[in-house]
Amino acid sequence: MAISSASVSLSENLTVADPRGLSDEAILDRIQRAAFGYFTETFNRANGLVADTTRPGSPSSIAVVGFALSSYPIAVERGWITREDAAQRTLTTMRFFWNSAQNENADSTGYKGFYYHFLDMQSGKRVWHSELSLIDTALLIGGVLIAGVYFSGSNQSETEIRELADMLYRRVDWSWAQINKFTLSQGWKPECGFLHYGWEGYNEAAILYVLALASPTHPLPASSYSAWTATYQWESLYGHQFLYAGPLFIHQFSHAWIDFRGMRDEFMREKGIDYFENSRRATYVQREYAIHNPHEFEGYGENCWGLSAGVGPGDRALRVGGRLRRFLSYSARGVPYGPDDGTIAPTATLASIPFAPEIAMPALRYLFERYPEMAPERMLPSGLNPTFPGNGSAAWMSEQYFGLDQGIVVMTIENYRSQLIWNLMRRCPYVTTGLQRAGFTGGWL
């Protein structure tokens, strides 16, 4: 199926309005609707796969499929698609994954219940020499479990969805990926076995551990979670004490599914806050960094911030304003240790809204005003770089759109508006079990 490469404007009924005349709620509604359009536009009806980006020829990313599955219930509740349509999309997706090739071959779809990070959109086979990915499988399963809770009807489709959700979850052999007594590998390749590096330091793997600890078939031991938290860095930066991670998406991804407010594991009990508050502080640190702007990039400031994983102007060195600037393509940019090439990620700014709406909304409004190519009715770009030359007073903006970015937008805005995904996940017994086994108490548990 053809995937549109140009800026995708999917809100058939929404004309581009001046954001200054819109309420916060109206702005968020438009942004969310536009973001959801990514999942209908890049969806393959034959197998349920969703493209990684809008670039022609892009493969599917299983993490993006996970975001898609999580977004369908939202779209139903918002009235953008029918429940039947959502159920059909979900069923197609789950049937594909359940029936897909699971073996050690280099061109299968998965192995041991995990799936390769990138799959061919048509055939569903592994592409790009990608790794059997733990975290991306976890995000996919997050979407699977959401669907398993949401589609609670007694008709055949929804019953089958629930059954497949459970089967897909139970099939994942999390314990196989434990490469030594405590450490989980990030992935596996048929060419070289487990990847050389594991998970060190706080990152987006919280959801991975929660799901893996709770598995009734192949659980990880609780000690693997504490082995991970033992690598955490608690830092004091710009006057904020918090659990550090450089790129903003790390502080956001697991929260898209799980409501961490008020609950604490052993680490957070020792520190006296929770992971939600931590993400709030991390957001403030990101903003503070932009105010300091150590590399003196254009545009950075109190209303223009947010370094995360995303695409940039491309791997090249250019002289800009008398300084040699090295730009990057796709990179996990981070605060404060870098890399930083002057690119901010507007979707990461957006996804900060639940944690720090008082600084995220003004930043969003500022971006729309300052860079009119961005509008609530259009998908937010993956990267915005005001330093990159040749744009006049405007900024370089990425042309392709990324499924991960649009997915976090849809889910985050929904949690902020109605807590739908958080509420659904609370009803998933595996998530409750996983959190408890990880040592969490308090909050909604």
Tell me which residues touch other proteins (CB under 8 A). 129, 131, 189, 191-192, 195-197, 200-201, 230-239, 241, 270, 292, 294, 322-324, 326, 336-339
Q: What angle do CA 394, 366, 324 make, to 5 degrees?
A: 40
Measured from the CB of residue 367, what is the shortest distance to other proteins in angstroms?
Answer: 24
The distance of closest approach from Cβ of residue 131 to other proteins in the complex, given in angstroms and rounded to an integer, is: 8
β partners of residue 126: 119
Nearer to other proteins, 129 or 316 (CB): 129
CB 269 within 8 A of CB 229: no
b/e burial code for range 121-145 (CB count within 10 A of at least 16 → b): beebbbbeebbbbbbbbbbbbbbbb
Of 191 and 358, which CB lies nearer to other proteins in the complex structure?
191
Which residue, 65 or 132, has its beta carbon nearer to other proteins?
132
- For other proteins, the closer CB: 222 or 237: 237
Q: Are 444 and 262 in contact (CB under 8 A)?
A: yes
**Span between the terminal Cα atoms of the chain, in Å:** 44
Phi-psi region of 390 (alpha: psi -120 to 50; beta: other; left: phi over 0): left
Nearer residue to other proteins within complex by CB, 115 or 199 = 199
In sequence order, what are the beta bridge partners of 335? Answer: none
φ and ψ at residue 116, rounded to 5 degrees? -70, 145
CB of 52 to other proteins, least distance (A): 20
Longest dimension (CA), the chain: 67
**Judged by CB, which is closer to other proteins: 130, or 215?**
130
Closest approach of other proteins to the CB of residue 335, in Å? 10
Least Å distance between CB 340 and other proteins? 9
H helix or E strand, kind and range, residue 309:
strand 309-310
| Smaller CB separation from other proteins, 171 or 264 | 264
CB nearer other proteins, residue 12 or residue 337: 337
Nearer to other proteins, 45 or 323 (CB): 323
Q: How far is the CB of 442 from other proteins (least distance, A)?
A: 20
Name 119's bridge partners. 60, 126
- The whole-angstrom separation of Cα 27 and Cα 36 is 14
Cβ 12 to other proteins, closest distance in Å?
44
**Long-range contact pairs involving 83-86 (C-beta distance under 8 Å, separation at least 24):** 83/153, 84/157
- Judged by beta carbon, residue 109 or residue 203, the one nearer other proteins is 203
Rounded least distance, CB 258 to other proteins, Å = 24
Question: Rounded to 5 degrees, what are φ and ψ at 205?
Answer: -80, 0
DSSP state of 70: H
- Between 242 and 260, CB nearer to other proteins: 242
How many Å apart are CA 274 and CA 159, to the nearest integer?
36
Place of tokens 């898609």: 68
Q: Nearest approach, Cβ of 265 to other proteins (angstroms)?
A: 14
Least CB distance to other proteins at residue 338 (A): 6
Distance (Å, whole) CA 246 – CA 310: 13
CB of 270 to other proteins, least distance (A): 6
Distance CA 362, CA 345 (A): 15
Q: What is the DSSP string of 127-180?
A: -TT--EEHHHHHHHHHHHHHHHHH---SSHHHHHHHHHHHHHHHH--GGGGB-S
